[in-house]
Chains A and B, each alone.
Chain A
Amino acid sequence: MKDNLIIGRYIPGNSIMHRFDPRLKLVGLIVMMLLVFAATTVATNIIMIVAVLALVLMSGISLGVFLKGLRPMIAIIIFTVALQILFTHTGDVIWSWGFLALTTGGLTNAAYIFVRFLLIIFLSTILTLTTQPLAITDAMESLLKPVKNIIPVHEIALMLSIALRFVPTLLEEAEKIMNAQRARGVDFSEGNIVQRVKAFIPVLIPLFISAFNRAYDLATAMEARGYRGGEGRSKYRLLHWENIDTIGAIVLVILTVVMIVL
Chain B
Amino acid sequence: MEIVFKNVGYTYGLGTPFAFQALRDINVTIPHGSYTAIIGHTGSGKSTITQHLNALMQPTEGQVLIGDKVISAGTKAKDLKAIRQKVGMVFQFPEGQLFEESVIKDVMFGPMNFGDSEEVARQKAEEALEDVGIDPELFERSPFELSGGQMRRVAIAGVIAMKPEVLVLDEPTAGLDPKGRIEMMTMFDELYKKQGLTIVLVTHQMEDVATYANHVIVMDGGTSVKKGTPAEVFADASWLQEHQLSLPDAADFATRLQAQAGKFLWDSADDMPLTVDALADLLMAKFDLPMADAPSNLEKGDQAIDER
Q: Find B110's partner among A173, A184, A190 (CB 8 Å cutoff).
A: A184
Least CB distance from B100 to A in Å reads 8
Cα A204 to Cα B84 in complex, Å, equals 21
**Cβ of B263 under 8 Å from chain A:** no
**Cβ of A194 under 8 Å from chain B:** no
Tell whether, in the assembled complex, residue B113 and residue A186 are in contact, meaning their CB atoms are under 8 Å apart.
yes
Q: Find A182's partner among B56, B88, B162 (CB 8 Å cutoff).
A: B56
Least CB distance from A36 to B in Å reads 27
Q: Which of these binds chain A: B25-33, B61-69, B89-97, B240-248?
A: B89-97
**Cβ of B294 under 8 Å from chain A:** no
Contacts of B56 in A (CB 8 A): 179, 182-183
**Cβ of B71 under 8 Å from chain A:** no
Cα A68 to Cα B17 in complex, Å, equals 11
Cα A44 to Cα B85 in complex, Å, equals 62
Tell whether, in the assembled complex, residue A183 and residue B54 are in contact, meaning their CB atoms are under 8 Å apart.
yes
Tell whether, in the assembled complex, residue A3 and residue B13 are in contact, meaning their CB atoms are under 8 Å apart.
yes
Assess A206 versus B81: contact at CB under 8 Å? Given A11-B17, A183-B88.
no
Which chain A residue shows the least CB distance to B99? A205
Assess A180 versus B88: contact at CB under 8 Å? Given A3-B13, A4-B16.
no
Q: Find A173's partner among B77, B96, B109, B162 (CB 8 Å cutoff).
A: B96
Assess A185 versus B12: contact at CB under 8 Å? Given A173-B96, A180-B89, A206-B96.
no
**Cβ of B287 under 8 Å from chain A:** no
How many residues from B make CB contacts under 8 Å with A? 29
Contacts of B97 in A (CB 8 A): 177, 180-181, 184, 202, 206
Tell whether, in the assembled complex, residue A183 and residue B78 are in contact, meaning their CB atoms are under 8 Å apart.
no
Contacts of A206 in B (CB 8 A): 96-99
Cα A219 to Cα B62 in complex, Å, equals 47
Tell whether, in the assembled complex, residue B54 and residue A201 are in contact, meaning their CB atoms are under 8 Å apart.
no
Which chain A residue shows the least CB distance to B110? A184
Least CB distance from B43 to A in Å reads 15
Cα A186 to Cα B18 in complex, Å, equals 29
Which chain A residue shows the least CB distance to B111? A185
Assess A202 versus B99: contact at CB under 8 Å? Given A3-B16, A180-B91, A209-B144.
yes
Which chain B residue shows the least CB distance to A173? B96
Cα A181 to Cα B53 in complex, Å, equals 15
Cα A210 to Cα B81 in complex, Å, equals 27
Assess A3 versus B91: contact at CB under 8 Å? Given A179-B51, A180-B96.
no
Contacts of B54 in A (CB 8 A): 183
**Cβ of B114 under 8 Å from chain A:** yes
Assess A185 versus B84: contact at CB under 8 Å? Given A176-B91, A179-B91, A180-B91.
yes
Cα A206 to Cα B110 in complex, Å, equals 16
Contacts of A202 in B (CB 8 A): 97, 99, 109
Tell whether, in the assembled complex, residue B84 and residue A177 are in contact, meaning their CB atoms are under 8 Å apart.
no
Contact string, A152-181, partner B, CB cutoff 8 A, digits 1/0? 000000000000000000000100110111
Contacts of B51 in A (CB 8 A): 179
Cα A210 to Cα B162 in complex, Å, equals 25
Contacts of A4 in B (CB 8 A): 16
**Cβ of A217 under 8 Å from chain B:** no
Assess A184 versus B96: contact at CB under 8 Å? Given A3-B12, A3-B13, A4-B16.
no
Tell whether, in the assembled complex, residue A184 and residue B99 are in contact, meaning their CB atoms are under 8 Å apart.
no
**Cβ of B129 under 8 Å from chain A:** no
**Cβ of B158 under 8 Å from chain A:** yes
Cα A180 to Cα B78 in complex, Å, equals 17
Which chain A residue shows the least CB distance to B88? A183
Contacts of B78 in A (CB 8 A): 190
Contacts of A3 in B (CB 8 A): 12-13, 16, 18
Cα A206 to Cα B94 in complex, Å, equals 11
Most chain B beta-carbon contacts within 10 A, residue among A181, A185, A189:
A185
**Cβ of A65 under 8 Å from chain B:** yes
**Cβ of A223 under 8 Å from chain B:** no
Cα A181 to Cα B144 in complex, Å, equals 17
Cα A183 to Cα B97 in complex, Å, equals 11
Most chain B beta-carbon contacts within 10 A, residue among A4, A179, A182, A209:
A182
Least CB distance from A5 to B in Å reads 10
Tell whether, in the assembled complex, residue A184 and residue B77 are in contact, meaning their CB atoms are under 8 Å apart.
no
Give me 19 A-to-B residue pairs in the complex whose CB atoms sit less than 8 angstroms apart, sorted by A's number: A4-B16, A65-B17, A177-B97, A180-B89, A183-B54, A183-B89, A184-B110, A184-B159, A185-B84, A185-B114, A185-B162, A187-B81, A201-B99, A202-B97, A202-B99, A202-B109, A205-B99, A206-B97, A206-B99
Closest 5 CB pairs of A and B: A185-B113, A3-B13, A205-B99, A183-B89, A180-B97
Given contacts A187-B81, A202-B97, 13 further A-B contacts (CB under 8 A): A11-B17, A176-B96, A180-B89, A183-B84, A183-B88, A183-B159, A184-B113, A185-B81, A185-B84, A189-B77, A202-B99, A206-B96, A206-B97
